[in-house]
Structures are given as structure tokens and as C-alpha cells.
Amino acid sequence: MEESRFFCPPVRSFPVQIGEITLHIQSYSLSGVRVFSEQGASSGETIVTSCYQRGRRLVLEGTWVTDSEPGVLMLALDQYLRENTSFPLTLRNLCFPDCRLMKYTATEKGCEPAVAVRLELLARIPPEEAVQT
């Protein structure tokens, strides 16, 4: 998808490729969680029966800039949701080889050649396996 020639993304943004879509990201957050399963023992103590690390939640906020109609963006994001598409994502110098879109919000303001986008992704990779590019 081609960027607009009439609109410049914010200076403090950086490009991120999501499938065939290029977003100019202004902010992101990455969170990870370790889950513990507990069970009560007959002695009254709590016993941890298992523990595992969940996938990382990655939230990207930025702008999609193009000369195309915004429907192109929405159709692509809907397809990623519907088909549970897996794609690699490089965020700054950190590569996540298996990301899946969980939720998106796209906001267009007054027919500008840009759409504000907020994506929530599941990044399935332990941090120690992340590849520096």
C-alpha cells in the first residue's frame, strides 16, 4: 500500500510493517504475564499446581498514511482478524516472528489522508528468544 504524497507522518514516529500495511507508530506498549494455577490443600495451604508464561500483549498506536480509501485498511485488518493471520513484526530492533491481531480501532478525522490506528496484538515469543536485527 502506497504512502500519500500530500501528508507527512509525525516526525517522532517510526514505520512498522503489519502484513501489507505500513503504520507510522507514535507509541507502543508491551506487557507480559506469568500465570499461576493454585489449589487449596486439605491442610489449608495453597499449592501452586502449575505456572506458565502467557504471550506478550503488544499495543501499537499510530497513523496509516495513504492516497487510498480508508476501506482498504479496514478490509485488510478485518481479514487479519477473521483468518487469524500470523505475521512477523519488527519493533525498533526487536523482531517478533509470530504476531496475531486481537483488536483494532481506526479513526478517520475529516477526510484527511491519514487514519489514526490502535492495534492490539498477541506476540507469541519469549523475550529471551527475541531476535535483535
Tens of pLDDT, residues 87-105: 998 888 888 888 999 999 9
**Grid coordinates given for 119:** 492495534
CB atoms within 10 A of CB 50: 9
Q: Quick one: pLDDT at residue 125? A: 61
Q: Where is pLDDT greater, at 52 or 99?
A: 99
Q: Quick one: pLDDT at residue 133? A: 45
Contact call for residues 130 and 90 (beta carbons, < 8 A): no
For residue 55, is it within any domain? yes
For residue 117, is it within any domain? yes
pLDDT tens by residue, 61-96: 999 887 777 788 889 999 999 999 999 988 888 888
Q: Where residue 10 falls among pLDDT bands split at 50, 70, 90? A: low
For residue 123, is it within any domain? yes
Q: What is the mean pLDDT of the chain?
A: 81
* Helix (H) / strand (E) containing 89: strand 86-91
**Grid coordinates given for 35:** 500465570
SS3 43: coil
**Grid coordinates given for 55:** 504471550
The CATH number given to whatever domain includes residue 56 is 2.40.30.200
For residue 1, is it within any domain? no
Q: Quick one: pLDDT at residue 105? A: 93
Q: Quick one: pLDDT at residue 131? A: 46
The count of domains in the chain is: 1
Contact call for residues 73 and 21 (beta carbons, < 8 A): yes
For residue 9, is it within any domain? no
Alpha helix ranges (H) inside the chain: 70-82
- What domain range includes position 125? 14-132
Q: Quick one: pLDDT at residue 76? A: 92
For residue 2, is it within any domain? no
**Does the predicted TM-score (pTM) go above 0.85?**
no
**C-alpha–C-alpha distance, residues 43 and 39, integer Å:** 11
